Each structure stands twice: as C-alpha cells, then as structure tokens.
Chains A and B, each alone.
Chain A
Amino acid sequence: MNFTLKADHQKYKRANRDGYIAAMLELMKDDPSVVHIDCDLMGCINAGKLAAKYPERTFNAGIAEQNAMAAAGGMAATGMKVFVHSFAAFASRRDFDQAFLAAGYSRVPVHVIGSDPGVTAAFNGATHMPFEDGGLYMSIPNAIVLDSCDYVQTYSLTKKCAAQPEITYMRLIRKGFKTIYEDGADFEIGKGAVLREGSDVTIIASGIMLDEALKAQEILEGKGISAKVIDMFTWKPIDEELIVKSAEETGCIVTAENHQVGCGLGSAVANVLVKKKPVPMEMIGIQNRFGQVGDQDFLMKEYNLLADDIVKAAERAISRK
C-alpha cells in the first residue's frame, strides 16, 4: 500500500466512475479474459468507452439483473474475469440469490460494481437507495466487500479486484466527489489506510464518509482532541490487526458509513472489538431507516452523516472511557 493524501483535497472533483473506466480500459487491453456486463446503465458510468474500444467484450444484459448476474457466473466458469455493473440497489437486492450461488458459492471470478450507494442515490430516492448492499455481500462467505472513496482509489481497487479468483463487490460513487488521494496511490485489499495519527479517539470511515471524517478530525483538533483517522475501504475481510491496535492506542472508536450500521462497517468493526479489545464505540451511519429522495446535502443532514455528527460521537465515546 502506498498513498499520499491530496492537500486541499476538498477543492478537487473527479468522478469515481471514470476511475473504474480508466482501470477497465487498461485491464481489457492487457487481458483478453476481462469483460464488462451492464444492465442498461452503461450511460451512467460511461461504459460506452469500453464498448467503443472493446465491443466484443462489453455486453448489455438489458434491465434483467438476475440473468446478468447468473450469466456472469457461467461466463466466469469458462475462464473469463467478469465485471458486472448496476445501481447498488439492484446489484445487491435484486439479484442476491444469483450473486450468492452462481458467483459466490460457485467460486468464480465475478466482480460486482454497485453504483450510487446509500445517499449518493439522491434524486433517485428510496427505491434506488441501498443502505444494506454491503451487508448483503458481506453475508456471502467468500466475498470481498469494498467501499471506494475517490477516483484514485477506485482505479486502484478495480485492478486489485481483477486479480481476485472469487467474488468481489465494490460500492462505487458514480458522480463527482472530492478527491482524497494523490494520483498513483496503490491500495491493498484487507488493509486499512491510516490517514491521520491520533491518541484520543479513532475514526474509522470509508466512501463518502471519509471527507466528513477528515473534517471532524480538524474540528476535534481545534477542541484539543487528537483523532486518528482510518480509511477502512475493505469492509470484508476487515483489518482486525489495525482495529485492535487503534483501540489499544486511543481507547475508543467511532465508525462512519453511508450504510446501515447494523450490517455494515460499524457492525464489522464491533465484531472485532467485542472479541479482541472491547472499548467504547459509537456508530455514525443509517440507524435502521429506509432511504428517501433529496439532494445529497439534505440527506447527509437527515441521516446524521456530517462531520459534526462524527465530532459529537467522538466526544461521547471519549466520555465513556
């Protein structure tokens, strides 16, 4: 793993989907077994660029996610590395049995890309707003589950997924987002990235919550509280060693995710802590609610996903030590 935080990261905007496409163009160039299957959402992630360059390996399955996923499994069994994309809601809920059996249980290289996770589904509203997609995939015994935060990380993780022999699932923020990392960063599946060292509390976040976590760290610093910040982009297999080490160093933990806390990052971290190093813990994320329509700023506030929410959670966790 090798990365540098981008200075003034909030100034830069680059769409994560373009990181996926850039990585796929290189993968498809170097490896004739790499294919992309879409479910009538190619336009949403610019997969037209793949179709233009590699029409014989870019497939549209139409609005039929169940068949797309099981066909991906069958195709992967013939020796191909199959990326499948749909909105995260449909790439998880709609075709879960197929993902579980034809990809997961069948132990074939199917790499699922779920775009618009959680509140990033914004104006598509409740039906398109998955707060449980990561949890569904985490329940597949051999699945790798990722929550990518920016263009650079998406690019790196797409390449790492292609090297995996079994099922992977990556949450992909489709549209523009603040760039966290400098170009050229390299990420290792299963390892958290420590972005800030600290001694009073550890904030473990991923995806869109990383930006809020970094903002929270600055606010806490102003209050004289030293916060460690970890980008836990791999939800499964979770980096147990780093969680335990951070709990030992800072004595309490706050998780922050764009997902139900009961079946996502927070619960994965809690599973480690209760077994290996019980410390006070707070979870920022969706608290057992459905999605709703609205702009992302409204939704972040509505579901208490902002830096201020993380700050309050950190103070609560510290007070419980």
Chain B
Amino acid sequence: MERSMTAELTKEKLHDLRVFAEEIRLETLKIIRSRGFGHVGGSMSLADLMAVLYGEVMHIDPSNPRMKDRDWFVLSKGHGGPVMYATLGLKGYYPVSDAYQLNRPGTRFPSHTDRSLTPGVELTTGSLGQGISEAVGAALGFKTQGTGNHVYVCIGDGESDEGEVWEAAQFAAHYKLDNLTCFVDNNRYQLDGPVSEVMSHGKGIGAKFDAEGWHVIDVRDGNDVAQIYAAAAEALETKGVPTCVILNTIKGKGATFAEPVSAHSSQPTEEEWAEAVAAEEARLAAVRKA
C-alpha cells in the first residue's frame, strides 16, 4: 500500500499530538522511576518524535502488532527503551503499567529494546550502530517483497560515532531505499560529555548523510511535534533516495533533574523524582487546557 500524509495537521490533531507527547513524557518518567534509575536523558528527548510517529504517521494496529503491512519503527539507540515502552503502552499494545517491570528479573521490558520480548518492538537493538543496519536490511526486505511497509529508524548523535552507521547509510542510498526514514536524535550529548568534545562529526551528521546521497531535512526544534510532522511528510514524498531527519533536541527534555545537566543516565533521589513527576503532570495539564 502506498503511504501518504496530509501536508499539515489540523489544530485539533496538533493539540492531540502535544498532549500525547506529554503523556509519553510522564509515563517514561514513571517507568524509569519504578526501577529508580535508567536512561532518562535519551528517552525524554524522543517523546515528541514518538508522539508524531505513533500518533499520526505510522500505519499500525496495536491490537494486531504483527499486521502484515504495518510500518516498522526501529529504535537504533536502544537505550531509549523506556520512551518506546511508554508509547506502546499508551497506544494499547499492552497495559502501560506492565512496563513498570522495567529491568526486573524475567521482564519483558529490558533496558534496551528487544524484538523477542516486547510486543511492538520490531528489531533488537542496543549495540550501537546495529539498529540502523538492521533497519536498512528490513527496508530492503520489504522492497524485495514488493510490500509497502515503511521503515522508520532513530539513531543518536553519539551513536553516529559508530562506523557501521555510515556503512548502513551508503547501503541504503545505493539500494535507493525510499521506504526508509532515519531520524537523528541530535541532543548533543553522549555518555562522557558533549558530542563536540567526545567525538565531533566534522561538517555535521546531516552533511555526512548528504554526502552519502540521502535527502536531508534539518528540524530546528526536534521537540516540536508540528516540525517533526512536516519533516515526516516530506520524507514520505521523497522518492528514489532515503531521507534523514536531523532532530535538534534537548537531552532529558522535561525531566527537571536531567535536562539541566544533559545526563545520559540518572539515579535521582526520591525528592528529585517526585519533583520531576509533579512538574510533568503540571505540564501535561497545561497542554491539555491549551
């Protein structure tokens, strides 16, 4: 089935996506809080992307996670697992409270996303660089089978240190995988510090994808659902080449203890957790009223 999107969102849909993004943020915090520690930073930066993809863009059926012609989302930066578990739970793939078993013994919700464990997770990721390779393989698989499935993948800017990302990029362009859209969570921090200090990306990640022959879209505010939606629509319109969308995001966005320090993983105190959850609840209420 050929995929298509309307160019612009109605005010109502825009409102719904903003609400959904904050709901995802709140649940992501609660999921990680249930274990007390985890990858808050790289999860929270992605709530808006998840809201747009699962709320509006992707062809999916949560009651039938294995639907043949569904679109696939691959979280190549697999440590963002919690934001995916929140999203899938809120969409009804399972009760969202199930995800409060994050990282418990025998859990279906491990720190990094795993296709064998969680309904709605398509591919197993966590060893950075591999998810985008798997995603290009999946996109080529669907092309070969002549099905219309679109593959969405999200990589990190830190992850882009991995050489495999660039092997995958050249492969996707070579095979003209226009059924593939790659989002880059450009939150500018990796575990050991700012990306610019740990391992910089020359002329930029977007420039590197451009050099490989991709269509590249730079989204100024990667935490704005309207801008993300417009980029996804442009990607779907783009034929003959894969599209890369650079999302300039804020690491830890919305988590009061993580955002100011761009923390990769966090183990806040009970007071800090309570403050963060309360702040997010207030934000959700405000967005709902807006």
Contacts and interface: CB of A to CB of B under 8 A. Distances in A.
Report whether chain A binds chain B: yes
Interface of A: 33, 35, 56-57, 59, 61-62, 64, 66-67, 69-80, 82, 97-98, 101-102, 105-107
A72 B138 CA distance: 8
Contact of A74 (B116, B129, B138, B164): B138
B123 A71 contact: no
A69 B170 CA distance: 15
A319 B141 CA distance: 58
Contacts of A76: 137, 141
Given A79-B145, A105-B124, A106-B123, A67 B133 contact: yes
B140 A66 contact: no
B134 A80 contact: no
B139 to A, nearest CB: 8
Contacts of A70: 130, 133-134, 137, 164, 168
A241 to B, nearest CB: 31
The 9 closest A-B pairs by CB, nearest first: A74-B137, A71-B137, A70-B133, A74-B134, A78-B141, A67-B167, A75-B141, A75-B137, A64-B167
B127 interface: yes
Nearest to A71: B137
Contacts of B163: 66
A61 B144 contact: no
B133 A106 contact: no
A102 B145 contact: no
Given A67-B164, A101-B130, A102-B133, A74 B171 contact: no
Contacts of B126: 101
B122 interface: yes
B51 interface: no
Contacts of B164: 66-67, 70, 98
B164 to A, nearest CB: 5
6 contacts: A64-B167, A74-B134, A74-B137, A77-B122, A77-B138, A106-B115
Given A64-B170, A97-B127, 9 more contacts: A57-B144, A71-B133, A71-B137, A74-B134, A74-B137, A74-B139, A75-B138, A75-B144, A82-B137
A12 to B, nearest CB: 38
B206 to A, nearest CB: 20
A187 to B, nearest CB: 29
B142 interface: yes
Contacts, number: 103
A66 B133 contact: yes
A74 B127 contact: no
Contacts of A72: 137
A59 B174 CA distance: 11
Given A59-B175, A78-B145, A102 B170 contact: no
B135 interface: yes
Nearest to A98: B130
Given A72-B137, A78-B138, A56 B123 contact: no
A285 B95 CA distance: 56
A280 to B, nearest CB: 43
A72 B123 CA distance: 12
- Most chain B beta-carbon contacts within 10 A, residue among A74, A75, A98, A106: A74
A35 B144 contact: yes
Contact of A67 (B122, B123, B168): B168
A75 B61 CA distance: 22
Interface string B95-129: 00000000000000000000110000011101101
A147 to B, nearest CB: 27
Contacts of A73: 123, 133-134, 137
A161 B127 CA distance: 27
B141 A79 contact: yes
Contacts of A107: 116
A77 B142 CA distance: 10
Nearest to A95: B164
Contacts of A67: 133, 136, 164, 167-168, 171
B116 A75 contact: no
B60 to A, nearest CB: 16
A107 to B, nearest CB: 6
A74 B123 contact: yes
A309 B40 CA distance: 60
A295 to B, nearest CB: 34
A73 B131 CA distance: 10
